[in-house]
Structure 1
Amino acid sequence: MALKYVIKKRIFGFDKTKAEKYVAQNVITNTVEFRDLCEEITKVGMVPSGAVKFVLDALIDTLNINLRKGISVQLGDFGCFRPGMNCESKDAEKDVDSDTIRRVKIIFTPGYKFKEMLSKVSIQKMVASNDDTISSGQPDPNPDDDKEEAPDPEA
């Protein structure tokens, strides 16, 4: 499987020219829900799904506690989480205060296994059609996978 991208036009307003440029934009092709992720971990790690869910929930809670304290959390080969922020720049030191902080965020730095995966991943260009659907130009190997019957709301 390859990472997919489309080409998008962007307007860069850093100067008065408002230059239009083209950039590659990542396409997210699907999302793994938490329950499904727990089931996958159960199959790979041979641990009961309830235990996997309990440990992951506890990990999230512990990450929240430590990140709120301003502590960086290293998770071995997985990577490191740390708090960060985006701030407005000011000409004078006295003008910088908490109001200049635009956004508080979590920064994830991947561990070596993720970095290795990223250095070896293949990249595939997607084509956007006139109706804004995206296609790789290749036939869908599983055309019926995303055509599930809608669940009965009365059930």
Structure 2
Amino acid sequence: MALKYVVKKTTFGFDKEKAEKYVAKPFNVVTVDFKMLCDQVTKVGFVPRGTVKSVLDGLIDSLITYMEIGASVSLGEFGTFRPSFGCKSQDDEKEVTAETLKNRKIIFTPGSMFKGMIKSISIQKLDSSKANSSSTPDKGNGGSGEGGNEGGGEAPDPAA
């Protein structure tokens, strides 16, 4: 398997010329939802689907519990989740308050297994004609939104 990308024209607004350049954008073939993930773990782990779902639900609840108190949560070779935020810069130290905090987020740092996988995976250019007929490239929202979501709703995000 390989990561796929498409070439897109992008306008860069940070320079005076508003230069248009071409960049590679990741192309996600499908978004694997929670049900699909549970089914796959059931197949490879020989564990009943209900048990897999219970364990993953418990993991998500535990991640939330620990991150709500500001803890980083390490899942060994899988990686580490940690809560974070951005902050508007201020001229004076006293002006930095909770109100100046913005963009609360959860940062995932991959562990050794994911780092090794992403370094070794091949990368292929996708024909633009195929990209237009299948789905659209990821715009930072977790995928194209096609495939695997038979329930109609959005799958739970374990990082949220």
Q: Identify if the C-alpha distance between structure 1 residues 24 and 53 changes in structure 2 by more than 3 Å, giving closer, same or farther.
A: same
User: In structure 2, what is the equivalent of residue 126 of structure 1?
Assistant: 126
CA distance in 2, matches of 1:130, 1:66: 43
- Residue 85 to residue 22, structure 1, CA distance change in 2 (3 Å): farther
1:7 aligns with 2:7: yes
Aligned length: 137
Report the counterpart of residue 57 of structure 2 in structure 1.
57
Q: Which has the higher contact order (CA 8 A, sep 6+)?
A: 2
Larger Rg: 1
Q: Show the counterpart of 1:76.
A: 76
Distance in 2, Cα, partners of 1:20 & 1:104: 32
Q: What is the TM-score when the length of structure 2 is the normalising length? A: 0.74
Consecutive unaligned residues of structure 1, counting only runs of 5 or more, are 136-145, 151-155
Counterpart for residue 39 of structure 1: 39
Q: How far apart are the structure 1 equivalents of 2:117 and 2:39?
A: 23
Q: Is the 8 A contact 1:90 1:96 kept in 2?
A: yes
- Give the equivalent residue in structure 2 for 1:106: 106
2:89 maps to 89
Partners of 2:86 and 2:25 in 1: CA distance: 22
Aligned structure 1 segments of 4 or more residues deviating by more than 6 angstroms: none
Kindly indicate whether the alpha-carbon contact (under 8 Å) linking 1:128 and 1:134 is maintained by their aligned counterparts in 2: no
Output one character per residue of 1:80-101: Cα deviation in whole Å (capped at 9) or x when no partner.
0011223333444444333333
Conserved 8 A contact 1:2-1:124: yes
Mean Cα deviation higher: 105-114 or 19-28: 19-28
Give, in whole Å, the separation in 2 of the partners of 1:113 and 1:56: 19
SS class of match (2:132): coil
Counterpart in 2 of 1:19? 19
Residue 74 (structure 1) shift = 0.1
Query: What is residue 30 of structure 1 aligned with on the other side?
Result: 30
Taking only aligned residues, the RMSD between alpha carbons, in angstroms, comes to 2.6
Cα offset, 1:41, TM superposition: 0.8
Q: Deviations over 1:82-122 (max 9, x none)?
A: 11223333444444333333311111111101111011101
